[in-house]
Each structure stands twice: as structure tokens, then as C-alpha cells.
Amino acid sequence: MELNKRSILGAAILVASMGYFVDIYDLLLFAVIRIPSLKSLGLSMHEVNSTGLLLLNVQMVGMLIGGIFWGILGDKRGRLSVLFGSIIIYSLANIANGLVHGTTGYLIWRFAAGFGLAGELGAGITLVAEILPRDKRGYGTLIIASVGVFGAVMAGFVANLFGWRTCYFIGGGLGLVLLLLRIGVAESGMFASLKRGAVSRGNFFMLFNDRRRFARYLKCLLLGMPAWYLTGILVSFSNVFAQKMHVQGTISPAKAIMYCYAGLTAGDLISGLISQWWKSRKKVMILFLLISSLGVLTYFRMYGANQVLFYGICLALGFGAGFWTIFVTIAAESFGTNLRATVATTAPNFARGMLPLITLLFTGLMHWFSYLQSGWITGIVCIGLSLAAALTIEETFSKNLDYIEQ
């Protein structure tokens, strides 16, 4: 019996870990091969920039819609239904991405890939949080983060060795392997017990019809916002910031993103370790937000720096954003079993979906301030709001998760 229980725990953690691996692989891979893939489709450099931005936005829309869909499904039908369905869609979509011959098909399949990918991490974290003992949940997060590190490494490795179509085929193949691993995973006992009762499950509107519950949800969303300021503004537009600060040499956004994601996945690993040592999620969130603040301050002091130093600060910014799995874990632990998958799945995707709003703030500020000033003012707003949420949110380490939202 004990051996069987360990086998079930191991299978669940492995699937959740591989889900994060696929998540990191896809996000980093798309950032790196977006430009060469569009050039190979015959687009001019001007068209590459505009279509590349459109592809990114379409993928984000897919993640937003997918986050809601998979979150609700996870609470209504079970965590395993999300792990099964989302990975099928992601895998097929990525294989289709490798077969496109025009921008219309590319847009459709990037949307589908974003939609499929949206459910994996939240469902995995929810499942692991519900089956592990309360004082061991952080170790589950730690393992997930550790495996995720290799998603970034593999994406960079694959992108350097193969053409962009083959890279997508490999991503689809990884998803199909994950689908096979999912077969040995058992459903969460908490959800199985809940399913037998007459309780409202996966009611998305419950997050908004109670003031205190909405405030709790909003704080969870704000926790993840700085990650997308750091990666979506400072790193994605690193070539422009570097030019404004007269950084020596030419900075490649793709290379900056690779360094950033390497730092992010390492930060996820370290934040998980510290969370267990300190027996706190809240303190770790605050620590990494302060690290992010220091990274931003250093970033805007890179005047005249060389390429090595600048790429180094991109790595540091990624490390500061390495609270991502802690943030998703806090979201999962902050709500009852009947809303847990909905929150854990929508929170990271809504946080990602804040990037267009952050971009609007950034570009809007440029009507009154310089490019660089607009960048750091946007950072003050994003990190400031997240710190306020982290300081006031409840501690969830060792919290009993076997309860429901009324």
C-alpha cells in the first residue's frame, strides 16, 4: 500500500514537472525562432516585426481563453481531464505549427498552442498541492521548478541545432510523451471526495461575487505581474533600451530572452528551496520582488556597459522573476477545492495577459517622459502593486487545503 502511494505521488509530480518543462520550452522556443520562421515564410523585416507582435498577442489571447476554459474544466471534471485535454491540443498544435506555409495558418496554430498550454501548469500544481502532505508541498514545487530548468536549456539547444519546423515537431513530440506519462496518474483524493457532493464547482463568477474573495484573487494576479514587466518589456525590448543607454555592441533580444529564461528557471529552483527552509511562501515572494527591484535599478544604470554585463543583467532579471511557481502555488493554496483549479490555472495566464496593459502603460508614459524614464516608471508601478499584494496576502505554507468556497 505504501509503495503504491509513493508510485502515485511520483507519477503526479513527474507529469506536473514535465508540464512545466513543456511550458518553458515552448515560451523560450517561440521567442527565439519567431523571427527566422517568419523570414522563411517570405516576410520582409518590417512585416516580420508587425506579424511577430501579432503572433505573440494571438498566443497570449489563446492562453487567456484557455486559462478560463481549463480552470473551470479542472474544477468541474477533474485535474486529470485538464492534463489530458490540454496536452493533446498543445501537441497537435505544435506539430501543425511546423507544417504552416503562411501567416494565417501560423496565427491559428499559435493561438491553439497557447490555448492548450494554458492548462498544464495550473492543473499540475493543483494536483501536486492536493496529494502531498501540507509541509511537503514545497518540495513538489521544487521538483517542478528543477525539471522546468531543462525546458529552457533544451529550447536553446534545439533552436541552435535544428530548423524552426523541426523545433516545433520536437515540442509536439514532447507533449505526446507527456500524454503517455499521464496514464499512470491518479485523480486528487480531495477532488474525488468533493465530486460526490452537491457543491458548486468551477463557478468562475464566484471569484467576483464576494468582495473578500475577489480581493484575494486580485492579490494573486498582482503577484505575477512583475514577471511580465521584466520579460515582456525590459528583456524583449532590450535592444532598444541598450541603444538608448549606449551599450557597446549590438544586443540581440532573442539572446537576451534566452539568458532571462535561464535565470528565471534557476530562480524558480532557488525560491522553492528557500520556501521550504523558511516555511513560508509570503516571505519568499517579498524577497524575490526585492531582488527584482534591485535588478531593475541596476538595469537602468547600464550606461556604456559591454555586452557581457548587459546580458548578465538580463540573466539577473530572469532570476528575480523566479517566483513564478511560488506564485502559482500561492494561488492554488489560497482557495478551496471547488475553485482551486480555476484559480491556479487562470492566475498565471491572466498575469501573462497583463502584458498588453503593461505595454499600454509603458507606451502611454512616453507622451510625457523619455523612453528610459517610461521604462522605470512602469517598473515602479508593476513591482509596487505586487509588493503591496505580497505584504497583505495570507501565508499559505502548511495550510489545510481540504475545504470549499461557499
**What pLDDT does 194 receive?**
65
Measure the CA–CA gap between 319 and 271, rounded to whole angstroms: 9
| Report for 239-243, 314-318, 343-347, 352-356: range of highest mean pLDDT | 314-318
| % of the chain surpassing 70 pLDDT | 93
Q: Say what the pLDDT of residue 282 is.
A: 93
Q: What torsion do the CA atoms of 225, 231, 235, 241 make, to the nearest 10 degrees?
A: -20
The pLDDT value given to residue 183: 66
Nearest to 190 by CA among 133, 272, 275: 133
> Poorest-confidence range of 65-74, 86-95, 232-241, 396-405?
396-405
Question: Which pLDDT belongs to residue 184?
Answer: 64
The confidence score (pLDDT) of residue 348 equals 86
249-259 per-residue burial string, b: 16 or more CB within 10 A, e: under 16: eebbbbbbbbb
Query: What does the alpha-carbon distance between residue 62 and residue 84 come to, in Å, rounded to a whole number?
Result: 18
Which band of pLDDT confidence, cut at 50, 70 and 90, is reported for residue 197?
A: low
Are the CB atoms for 113 and 86 separated by under 8 Å? Answer: no
What pLDDT does residue 309 have? 93
Contact between residue 132 and residue 9 where contact means Cβ atoms under 8 Å apart: yes
Can you give the pLDDT at residue 258?
82
Mean pLDDT of 166-185: 82
Give residue-wise pLDDT tens across range 290-339.
999 999 999 999 898 898 999 999 999 999 998 888 888 898 898 888 88
What average pLDDT does this structure show over 347-376?
Answer: 87
Band of pLDDT at residue 288, cut at 50, 70 and 90: very high
Instruction: Tell me what pLDDT residue 298 has.
Output: 93
Residue 196 has pLDDT above 80, yes or no: no
pLDDT of res. 2: 40
Q: What value does the mean pLDDT of the chain take?
A: 85
Matching residue, cell 496514464? 183
Q: Is the pLDDT of residue 105 over 80?
A: yes
For residues 253-281, give the mean pLDDT: 87
Res 126: pLDDT: 83
Which residues does 5 contact at the CB level (< 8 Å), separation at least 6? none
Using pLDDT thresholds of 50, 70 and 90, give the confidence band for residue 278. very high
pLDDT digits (tens, 9 = 90+) for 36-77: 888 888 888 777 777 877 887 888 888 889 989 988 888 888
- Domains of the chain plus CATH, in order, are 1-188 (1.20.1250.20), 208-406 (1.20.1250.20)
The one-letter amino acid at 107:
L
Confidence of residue 186 (pLDDT cuts 50, 70, 90): low
State the DSSP string of 219-267.
Answer: HHHHHHHHHHHIIIIIITTHHHHHHHTT-SSPPPHHHHHHHHHHHHHHH
Q: Whose CA is closest to 216, among 395, 397, 79? A: 395
Q: Are 40 and 164 in contact (CB under 8 A)?
A: yes
In the predicted model, what is the mean pLDDT of residues 124-139?
A: 80
Q: How confident is the model at residue 5 (pLDDT cuts 50, 70, 90)?
A: very low
Task: Summarize the confidence of residues 366-378 as an average pLDDT.
Answer: 90
Span 196-221, average pLDDT: 83
Q: Which residue type sits at 103?
A: T
Q: How confident is the model at residue 110, as a pLDDT?
A: 92
* Percent of the chain residues past pLDDT 90, beyond the cut: 27
> Is pLDDT at 357 greater than 50 in this prediction?
yes
d(CA 177, CA 57): 28
Dump the DSSP string for 275-341.
Answer: HHHHT-SHHHHHHHHHHHHHHHHHHTT-TT--HHHHHHHHHHHHHHTTTHHHHHHHHHHTS-TTTHH
Least confident of 138-147, 164-173, 395-404: 138-147
Per-residue pLDDT, 284: 95
- Identity of the highest mean pLDDT range in 5-9, 25-29, 274-278, 383-387: 383-387
Residues 187, 358: Cα–Cα separation, whole Å: 37
| Amino acid 254: pLDDT | 78
Separation of alpha carbons 341 and 150, rounded Å: 25
Q: Which residue has the higher pLDDT, 8 or 391?
A: 391
